[in-house]
Amino acid sequence: MPLSACDEFPRDPDGTLQSARGGTIEVGLIEASPWVAIEDGVPQGLEVELAAAFAASLDAEVEWIRGTPEEVLEALEARRIHLVVGGLTQDSAWGDRVALTRPYLETALVAVAPGSGGPERVEGNTVAVSPGTVEAAAVRAAGGVPVAPDMAGSTASLEVKPS
């Protein structure tokens, strides 16, 4: 179906964007470093910066709403808040209940260590990555065991392509 047939897509049935201009945008936070972190009570991270820039483009203030992922996503679904940030991916269980943005970042992880002939897959293998990073999460998601580089000992080369 051609997009030209769509009238005012995507729709904003409640006029939320217009009402947010010059007002306040309520943003739900899901802690997921490096996308969202709370340090000394202050939201930080890439998606926090993106949400703040979006609010600034509307001349709006941001009210940060903390809660569990379920709490903030339920609030979004019920239209009690405007936006949720926190590293959500296209395969999120909430993808069929709330509108996700298009991916703005795709990553590939390459883990390299001295030696050759390493494993061809991550599953079941130990991989040296910095803790608390997107790469560490990708290793876990692929069935590997992320360890800090100083604890890895002898590792082999492998590439992780998160889905």
pLDDT digits (tens, 9 = 90+) for 2-43: 434 444 445 666 777 788 899 999 999 999 888 899 999 999
- What pLDDT, in 10s, does the model give residues 93-137? 766 777 667 777 766 656 555 555 566 678 888 887 777 777 788
CATH number of domain containing 57:
3.40.190.10
Helix, strand, coil share of the chain (percent; to 5):
25, 20, 55
State the sign of the Cα–Cα–Cα–Cα dihedral 30, 32, 33, 34. negative
Q: Which two tokens stand for residue 154?
A: 């002898």
Residue 94 lies in a domain: no
Enclosing domain of residue 34:
3-85
Residue 126 lies in a domain: yes
User: How many domains are contained in the chain?
Assistant: 2
Residue 33 lies in a domain: yes
pLDDT confidence of residue 3: 39
Is residue 11 classed exposed, middle or buried when 0-12, 13-18 and 19+ CB atoms within 10 A define those classes? Answer: exposed
Residue 130 lies in a domain: yes
pLDDT confidence of residue 51: 93
- For residues 74 and 7, state if they share a domain: yes
- For residues 128 and 81, state if they share a domain: no
Residue 139 lies in a domain: yes
Higher pLDDT, 131 or 82: 82
Residue 138 lies in a domain: yes
